[in-house]
Copies of this chain bind each other. A is one copy, B any other.
Amino acid sequence: MDYSKMSPAEVRALIRTGEITTHTSGMCDGYAQANLVVLPYEDAYDFLLFTQRNPKACPILEVGDVGDKRIRTIAQNADVTTDIPKYRLYRDGVLAGEYTDVSDLWQDDFVFFLIGCSFSFESELIAADVPVRHIEEGVNVPMFITNIDCEPAGRFSGKAVVSMRPIPAGLIPRAAAVTAQMPRVHGAPIHVGDPEAIGIRDLSKPDFGDPVTFYPGELPVFWYCGVTPQSVVMNSKPRIAITHAPGHMFITDTKNISLKY
Listed in ascending order, the chain A residues whose CB lies under 8 Å from chain B are 44-45, 48-49, 51-53, 60, 63, 65, 73, 151, 153-154, 180, 183, 188, 261
CB pair A261–B188 under 8 Å, yes or no, is yes
Given pairs A48-B48, A52-B52, 17 additional interface contacts (CB within 8 A): A44-B45, A45-B45, A45-B48, A48-B49, A48-B52, A49-B63, A51-B52, A52-B60, A52-B63, A53-B63, A53-B73, A65-B153, A65-B154, A73-B151, A180-B261, A183-B183, A188-B261
19 pairs, A vs B, C-beta closer than 8 Å: A44-B45, A45-B45, A45-B48, A48-B48, A48-B49, A48-B52, A49-B63, A51-B52, A52-B52, A52-B60, A52-B63, A53-B63, A53-B73, A65-B153, A65-B154, A73-B151, A180-B261, A183-B183, A188-B261
Assembly CA distance A261 to B45 (angstroms): 26
